[in-house]
Structures are given as structure tokens and as C-alpha cells.
Amino acid sequence: MTYYHQEIIRIREEHYLKPYISDHLSRAKRFIDENCCTAIDLQAISEFSFLSKFYLIRLFTRQYGITPHQYLTERRIQAAKRLLASQKTVMEACYHIGFESPNSFSAAFRKYTGVSPSEYRKKQFSIRFPQETVPILSGTKK
């Protein structure tokens, strides 16, 4: 075995996860995707993916760049955006996507989007109305 071959193997082992570990992580990610609107926690994710909680956090972060909790929250916020755009109230969206209180939902939504859920909802409805519905007064000058 040449030096370069040994270095390639060393780099692969340092920077890439083993295939069976990647399978466990993709299983965890798929579980989050399918159950993001239910009351799941790290324990449920780790049991489904057959990894310990702490090992799951470390490997998930290494593979995807964020923790499982952050990924779950992002998925819930994406679902909330769809619900708010489809005329659901903030309370309905909050409880439908798995948040336990409107305050925690509002804080998380603001953190990820930069606006509150009610502001986001208002923007969605104001964008939908075409400009032709606004009366245009022609010939008037101030």
C-alpha cells in the first residue's frame, strides 16, 4: 500500500461517516420529516434510529450541520408557514405543528423568519390581492 493510498484511507475515516452510520442518520432524518407535526422528542428519534441520544446529536450535527432539535424546529416552521398562508389562524398553526404554547411558537417563528406569525400571515394575505383591486385615481395632483 502506497503512502497516498494510506492518506486517502485516513482522510476518509476522519471526514466521512461509515455507511451504516449514515443509514441510521438518514433514518432519523426521515423520522423527523414524517413526524414533525407530532409530539416527538430526542428520545423518540434516537430509539427509532437505534442510536443513543448523545451519539445521535453528535453524528447528526456532523452530517447535516445542525442538531436534530434545530432540524425539527425548522421543519415545523416550514409547516407553519404553509398553514399561515392557507388562512389558518396563528393558534391553529401553533397547535397543529406540535408546539405546546403560542409563546414558544411565536418566539421560534420570529427567530427563524425574523417576523412574528401574525405579521407573516398579514404579509401573505396582502401579497395575494392583485393591484387592480386598488382604485387608481388618475388626473389628480397634489
Closest CA to 51 of 74, 25, 82, 86: 25
Does the predicted TM-score (pTM) go above 0.85?
A: no
Residue whose C-alpha cell reads 452530517 in the numeric block: 63
Q: Over the stretch 81-111, which tens digit does the pLDDT of each residue have?
A: 999 888 888 898 988 998 888 899 999 999 9
d(CA 107, CA 112): 9
d(CA 72, CA 6): 39
Say if residue 21's pLDDT is above 70. yes
Tell me what pLDDT residue 135 has.
47
Sequence-distant (≥ 6) Cβ neighbours of residue 81 within 8 angstroms: 113, 120
Say if residue 70's pLDDT is above 80. yes
Tell me what pLDDT residue 85 has.
87
CB–CB of 98/39 below 8 Å?
yes
What is the average pLDDT value for the chain, to the nearest integer?
83
Q: Over the stretch 76-87, which tens digit does the pLDDT of each residue have?
A: 999 999 998 888
Top pLDDT among 71 and 63 is at 71
- CATH number corresponding to 17-121: 1.10.10.60
Say if residue 46's pLDDT is above 80. yes
